[in-house]
Amino acid sequence: MNYSPLQKARYEYTPKLPGMLRHGIAEIGVKEGSETQSVADQDKIKALFPNTYGKKEITFEKGQNTSAAKKQVVGVILSGGQAPGGHNVVCGLYDALKATNKENVLYGFKNGPSGLVDDDYLIFDDAYINEFRNTGGFDIIGSGRTKLETDEQFAISVEVCKKHGITAIVIIGGDDSNTNAAVLAEYFAAHDTGIQVIGCPKTIDGDLKNEDIECSFGFDTATKTYSELIGNIERDANSAKKYWHFIKVMGRSASHVALECALETQPNICLVSEEVAAKKMSLSQIADYIADSVEKRAAKGMNFGVAVIPEGVVEFVPEFSALIGEINELLAGSKAETFNALPTWAEKYAFIEQGLSKESMSVFAILPQGIQQQLFLERDPHGNVQVSLIESEKLFSALVADKLADRKKKGTYNGKFSALHHFFGYEGRCAFPSNFDSDYCYSLGYNATMLIQYGYNGYLSKVSNLSAPASEWVAGGMPITKMMNIERRHGEDKPVIRKALVELDGKPFKYFEAHREEWAADTCFTYPGAIQYYGPAEVCDITTRTLALEQE
């Protein structure tokens, strides 16, 4: 196999560990903190998790290792979408297992949680692990989105684990995956299986965080990758001086990615979905907000700019959410077949016009035809509109173009407006991890082994103090149930990990808010450039602007 020079060099990079994990395994002790409770719905969560609820947070520190010496056979699962650094979680887990006892074994269940149910696996060895150190992607064992949530799946999982003598399962995933990890841990405890479950916090969206989890892995690399691309586009815009670039970035449920990219690159416009919802902004108001920037810049002879748009922003617009709800009802059951059988868009439009309320129809009518049709594309498994398929970057540029046309008629605007569109998503999910993510992920995996060794179940591998140098990071664990609340999902109350949205009173947003008026009117672009792996620590190991501001 041929390797690029960077790939070869990254194989040889030695990730940095928190200070207390740098001691020999025999010198890693544990300090227990206070008992925990869930963030909300305490009585309901406790009733659902009687065996794993209320456990103590723990921190690893230098001291005598008091864990029982025993052979560990561990299974690891990559769950959900890819995030840079996942390979290093597996490598850290493997290295710590082998450092604890050379007889320890690590199974990798293939293609996500389904690998456990299907008993589809590989057994890691040094040669195989070494091919993936410090590299992007999840191709070491593959990932998948199967959910472990039924008693039948749990029972099969127990049998597969018993067949191989597996003592613990590590699930590397986001909020849904770690919710599943908590449910699986409770099942294993309730049935006295002796099998532990440990989770690791992964998602490039940045919405798996709280007072304990400062950052999910992959967010650092993905936002730096997107910011490099956005910076390149800003430089092009400032060179050609004739295009407005509308750039959609990942983040359906929260705007952490968009906000971090804005802090890194200082574009003229960045929409924050949480602010749109808080202010109950309409599509027309958002379009006016962007058009104001276009008009101010045009008055200075700058007919160019950059707007960053989070993937899920339209779902935060109240009137658009109401429209989506009505469309879902309009096409419920057999009515979808009736609609799909209509031969022309004109007939379909008439069908829509008859079925929507006056308010929702007024919103639907202002949408470009291409966006209108996207709302009626293939439904998700629950029969709902797949909002992620909506090209919101094209939606807003079209609405802005209409606003500017009206202003031109009124004589308030006399500039030129030409829009180009981009979507940065998959480009960031499997990038070579930054030094931060390489170190953080390796620490999470190494730390997970210590949680297993000490017998913890239903815990999340936790590494904190992340804005400091890696030597000062703090390793430990927290019960997954601490992050949970009850939410309504598909008509039922379900225990889930609460998603972390952008806090409008938080330091990252406040910094953005204080500067965006200047960024909108002038050209304040910054160009982060490519991720650096070798050189001064202040360049190569730098954290995200979000994390730096939050930890000030």
- Domains present along the chain, CATH in parentheses: 5-27+68-218+433-475 (3.40.50.450), 222-281+292-311+391-427+500-552 (3.40.50.460), 314-389 (1.10.10.480)
1-37 pLDDT per residue, tens: 678 899 999 999 999 999 888 888 889 999 999 999 9
Q: Both tokens of residue 166? A: 């597996």
- Closest by Cα among 120, 273, 151, 133 to 205: 273
What's the pLDDT at 380? 66
Host H or E run for residue 477: strand 474-479
What's the pLDDT at 379? 67
pLDDT string in tens for the chain (552-residue length): 678 899 999 999 999 999 888 888 889 999 999 999 999 999 999 999 999 999 999 999 999 999 988 999 999 999 999 999 999 999 999 999 999 999 999 999 999 999 999 999 999 999 999 999 999 999 999 999 999 989 999 999 999 999 999 999 999 999 999 999 999 999 999 999 999 999 999 999 999 999 899 999 999 999 999 999 999 999 999 999 999 999 999 998 999 999 999 999 999 999 999 999 999 999 999 999 999 999 999 999 999 999 999 999 998 999 999 998 899 889 888 888 899 899 999 999 999 999 999 999 999 999 999 899 988 876 666 666 777 778 999 999 999 999 999 999 999 999 999 999 999 999 999 999 999 999 999 999 999 999 999 999 999 999 999 999 999 999 999 999 999 999 987 678 899 999 999 999 999 999 999 999 999 999 999 999 999 999 999 999 999 999 999 998
396 neighbors 222 (Cβ within 8 angstroms): no
Catalytic residue flag (residue 205): yes
- Residue type at position 155: A
- Helix 358-366 / helix 283-299 crossing angle, nearest 10 deg: 30
What's the pLDDT at 387? 74
328-379 pLDDT per residue, tens: 889 888 888 899 899 999 999 999 999 999 999 999 999 999 899 988 876 6
Q: Burial of 381 by CB count in 10 Å (0-12 exposed, 13-18 middle, 19+ buried)?
A: exposed
What's the pLDDT at 1? 66
Task: Provide the pairing of β-strand 168-173 with 196-201.
Answer: parallel
CA distance 79 to 113: 6
CA distance 494 to 489: 6
CA distance 303 to 108: 53
CA distance 305 to 178: 40
Q: Both tokens of residue 539? A: 């360049």
- Closest by Cα among 57, 58, 66 to 27: 66
Rg, Å, the chain Cα set:
25
In DSSP terms, 461 is beta-bridged to 477
CA distance 374 to 391: 8
Q: Which of 95, 176, 205, 220 is catalytic?
A: 205
Phi/psi zone of residue 215: left (φ > 0), alpha (ψ -120 to 50 degrees), beta?
A: beta
- Helix 318-330 / helix 345-355 crossing angle, nearest 10 deg: 110
Q: Quick one: CA torsion of 410, 413, 416, 420, rounded to 10 degrees?
A: -90
- Closest by Cα among 177, 88, 10 to 446: 88
If one counts every other C-beta atom within 10 angstroms of the C-beta of residue 456, the result is 25
Give the E-state strand segments of 214-298 in sequence order. Answer: 244-249, 269-270
73-96 pLDDT per residue, tens: 999 999 999 999 999 999 999 999
CA distance 250 to 122: 32
Host H or E run for residue 128: helix 126-130
What's the pLDDT at 490? 67
400 neighbors 290 (Cβ within 8 angstroms): yes
- Backbone φ, ψ for residue 24 (5° rounding): -60, 150
CA distance 528 to 104: 43
Q: Both tokens of residue 283? A: 């599509």
Q: Both tokens of residue 380? A: 């998700």
CA distance 224 to 245: 19
Q: Model-level pTM?
A: 0.95
What's the pLDDT at 252? 87
Tell me the CA distances in angstroms from 122 to 107, 115, 144, 165, 473, one per residue in order: 6, 10, 16, 14, 32
382 neighbors 489 (Cβ within 8 angstroms): no
